[in-house]
Amino acid sequence: MNFNINMPVKVLFGSGRVVEFGKEVTGLGRKVFLVTMREILELGLLDKAIASLKAAGFEYEIFSDVLPDPKSGDIDCAVERLRSSGCDVIAGIGGGSAIDFAKALAICYAHPLDVWSYVNLSNRPPAPIDASKVLPIIALPTTSGTGSEVTPYSVVTNTETVQKGTIKETSIFPKVAIIDPELTLTLPPELTAIIGVDALAHAVESYFNVPNRTPYSDIVVEQSVGCIAKYLKRAFDDGGDLEARVGMAWGSALAGVAISQAGTTVVHALAQPLGARMGLSHGVSVSIFFLEVLRRTLPAESARFARFARMLGVDDAEASELTLAGKGIDALSELLAEVKMPPKLSDYDAKPELIDELACDVATYMSRPLKQHPKVFTEDELREIVKACF
Ligand SMILES: [Fe+2]
């Protein structure tokens, strides 16, 4: 049993902990580039963070132009703003888009190529990154879903090539993640559900990632799935339920830890190209494929599906492994239905040609995660999955 654990992020977890932001900058730099979205700024979610920075005597500059699902062109344009700001620390405050944008900037700051060159595609190696030149990152999530606060990943969309890929680089693990569930209290129900399903997919895909899962990632997944199953519906029904928000923040952070160790497989391999081709948000894209992929994976790994059923609270000592596995899928389906998931491709006016396009995308630039799944789907089987999600 040989495996590695690499989790270099200092995590501050708990309600009200955003006020410790200023203190955490100490030792990392002098001036902070605050990367966020306009809506986050307008909701006042930066107020306490900025007050703590001022109290600790640090300078800062706010960059609030991040849009959902960062585009490579927008990141390349922002690099000059960062370079001329004199900042030497980057903070991502917001959902995964803001944190991923911050991570990409941290690399591009002192590297010569455009950001897309550093994206790791299955059919093209990324340009080399000098870890010593990457700026330190602090992550403050305001959603519970992407887990980006504890991962070495940054997802980037290229609108020219119509692709969506991931930078995978150890040096962009945030130095510090401040996970304050109070920052998630204003998330609307639909978004709570969509990104909650993304978190669940991170946990489950890590659990089924054959070459990369470890005893450590399995334990993390078990806790994560239990937490999300318990609190997703509550957070969806009542956004102001702080206990549920704490549960979702913890469940999604654990799912982030799981992908940082094991990684996603087919659901995300389909979701990323879909996001690139149709401009759908990451969470929506993942939610569309999640259940369908799992249904078709069950025969390949029923023992793990039976354990997954128990994580969801299915308890039937009399049932055979296969029956229990099936009940796990049923329980997952019920959980998703309770939060009005999953959406269908037809809800977004997807065209039939999408079936061939996605199958081709996955088979080419997403072929690595495809092969890490317990059931290695052929291009024809991928077409069947996409078709079933219409
Ligand atoms: Fe995701």
Identify the pLDDT of residue 315: 87
Classify 189-388 by CATH class. Answer: mainly alpha
Same fold, 10-184 and 189-388: no
Q: From ligand 1's centre to the CA of 84, what distance in Å?
A: 32
Q: From ligand 1's centre to the CA of 203, what distance in Å?
A: 10
Ordered by start, the domain boundaries in the chain are 10-184, 189-388
Q: From ligand 1's centre to the CA of 259, what distance in Å?
A: 9
Identify the pLDDT of residue 317: 85
Q: From ligand 1's centre to the CA of 86, what distance in Å?
A: 32
Q: From ligand 1's centre to the CA of 35, what distance in Å?
A: 20
Contacts 24+ apart (CB under 8 A), 66-69: 66/35, 66/36, 66/37, 66/94, 66/97, 66/98, 66/101, 67/37, 67/97, 68/37, 68/95, 68/97, 68/281, 69/97, 69/155, 69/157, 69/164, 69/275, 69/279, 69/281, 69/282
pTM surpassing 0.95? yes
Q: From ligand 1's centre to the CA of 278, what distance in Å?
A: 16
pLDDT in tens, the chain (390 residues): 899 999 999 999 999 999 999 999 999 999 999 999 999 999 999 999 999 999 999 999 999 999 999 999 999 999 999 999 999 999 999 999 999 999 999 999 999 999 999 999 999 999 999 999 999 999 999 999 999 999 999 999 999 999 999 999 999 999 999 999 999 999 999 999 999 999 999 999 999 999 999 999 999 999 999 999 999 999 999 999 999 999 999 999 999 999 999 999 999 999 999 999 999 999 999 999 999 999 999 999 999 999 999 999 998 889 999 999 999 999 999 999 999 999 999 999 999 999 999 999 999 999 999 999 999 999 999 999 999 999
Instruction: Yes or no: say if 220 and 167 are a contact pair by the CB < 8 Å rule.
Output: no
Write the CATH number of the domain with boundaries 10-184: 3.40.50.1970
By the CB criterion, residues less than 5 angstroms from ion ligand 1 are 198
